[in-house]
């Protein structure tokens, strides 16, 4: 297999691996396969992720290579590791379901899943608009300022999608207690955005003018 094919292969495998890992976290901790909220969440998560990989494998395979990188090689200031505790938002709901800690109304669970699904679709739209979108904070040699699509409204639409997904995931999985680790996401998001802003202002030509035109980072009319 050619070296350049490896990132694409990893991208095709990713939807299955991530869905299986999430499923194990959900159902093992729940102690049952009757955790119906998890089935809903996993279904659209897998479907959108698989569609994204198939779509970009044809349209923009370079994006798949970029998204396969997880080690930050930039000079951006590191985020304190303890803020990654928000990832426990995927582990608490299973325990919550097992022990019946929360009683989230069904309408709230369904509504939260709709918003999480739409937020994930927003991230897909961002990737389609900006081929430089990456899992790590970095600048590419030929990177340009993107000011179309969602970038015409906010400067970091991918993070807006991540915010909606993360903050609504506890309700989508029927757990109030999952908001305890979820709290650390907000300072994580603030530092991540701040670090990226510094990098873009210093190294990306035209970004300073763009930031004056599009004033809001993540939440229109708020921040």
pLDDT digits (tens, 9 = 90+) for 89-107: 999 999 999 999 999 999 9
Q: Is 78 left (phi over 0), alpha (psi -120 to 50) or beta?
A: beta
Q: What is the DSSP string of 102-137?
A: ----HHHHHHHHHHHHHHHHHHHHHHHH-TT--SS-
As a whole number of angstroms, the distance between CA 97 and CA 95 comes to: 5
As a whole number of angstroms, the distance between CA 19 and CA 41 comes to: 10
Fold (CATH) for 3-213: 1.20.120
Query: Would you kindly state where each structural domain of the chain is located, as residue ranges?
Result: 3-213
**What are the φ and ψ backbone dihedral angles of 156, each rounded to 5 degrees?**
-130, 65
Alpha helices in 1-105 (DSSP H): 6-30, 36-59, 61-67, 92-99
CB 197: neighbour CB atoms within 10 A? 17
Model confidence at 139: pLDDT above 70: no
Question: Quick one: pLDDT at residue 20?
Answer: 96
pTM of the model: 0.85
Contact 67, 136 (CB under 8 A): no
Work out the pLDDT band at 21, boundaries 50, 70, 90.
very high
Instruction: Look at the block and give the residue holding tokens 């094919």.
Output: 5
Cα–Cα separations (whole angstroms), residue 173 to 31, 111, 141: 15, 11, 41
Which structure tokens are listed for 60?
Answer: 């923009």
The DSSP letter of residue 63 is H
Lowest mean pLDDT among 77-81, 83-87, 156-160, 216-220: 77-81
Mean pLDDT for 6-34 is 89
As a whole number of angstroms, the distance between CA 118 and CA 157 comes to: 13
Collapse the DSSP code of 58 into the 3-class scheme (helix H, G, I; strand E, B; otherwise coil) and give the result.
Answer: helix
Work out the pLDDT band at 7, boundaries 50, 70, 90.
low
CB 21: neighbour CB atoms within 10 A? 11
CA angle 99/102/106 to nearest 5° reads: 120
Mean pLDDT for 47-67 is 78
Contact 217, 223 (CB under 8 A): yes
Most confident of 169-173, 181-185, 197-201: 169-173
Judged on CB neighbours under 10 Å (0-12, 13-18, 19+), 223 is exposed
């Amino acid at each position: 297999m050619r070296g350049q094919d490896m990132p694409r292969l990893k991208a095709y495998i990713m939807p299955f691996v991530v869905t299986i890992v999430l499923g194990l976290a959900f159902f093992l901790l729940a102690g049952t396969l009757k955790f119906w909220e998890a089935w809903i969440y996993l279904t659209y998560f897998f479907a959108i992720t698989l569609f994204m990989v198939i779509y970009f494998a044809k349209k923009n395979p370079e994006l798949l290579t970029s998204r396969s990188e997880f080690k930050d090689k930039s000079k951006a200031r590191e985020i304190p590791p303890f803020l990654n505790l928000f990832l426990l938002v995927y582990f608490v709901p299973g325990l919550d379901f097992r022990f019946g800690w929360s009683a989230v109304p069904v309408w709230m669970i369904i509504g939260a899943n709709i918003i999480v699904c739409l937020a994930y679709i927003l991230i897909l739209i961002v990737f389609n608009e900006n081929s430089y979108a990456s899992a790590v904070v970095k600048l590419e040699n030929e990177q340009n300022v993107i000011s179309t699509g969602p970038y015409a409204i906010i400067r970091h639409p991918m993070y807006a999608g991540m915010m909606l997904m993360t903050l609504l995931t506890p309700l989508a999985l029927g757990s109030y207690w999952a908001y305890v680790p979820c709290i650390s996401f907000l300072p994580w998001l603030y530092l991540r955005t701040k670090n990226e802003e510094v990098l873009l202002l210093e190294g990306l030509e035209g970004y300073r003018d763009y930031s004056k035109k599009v004033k809001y980072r993540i939440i229109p009319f708020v921040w």
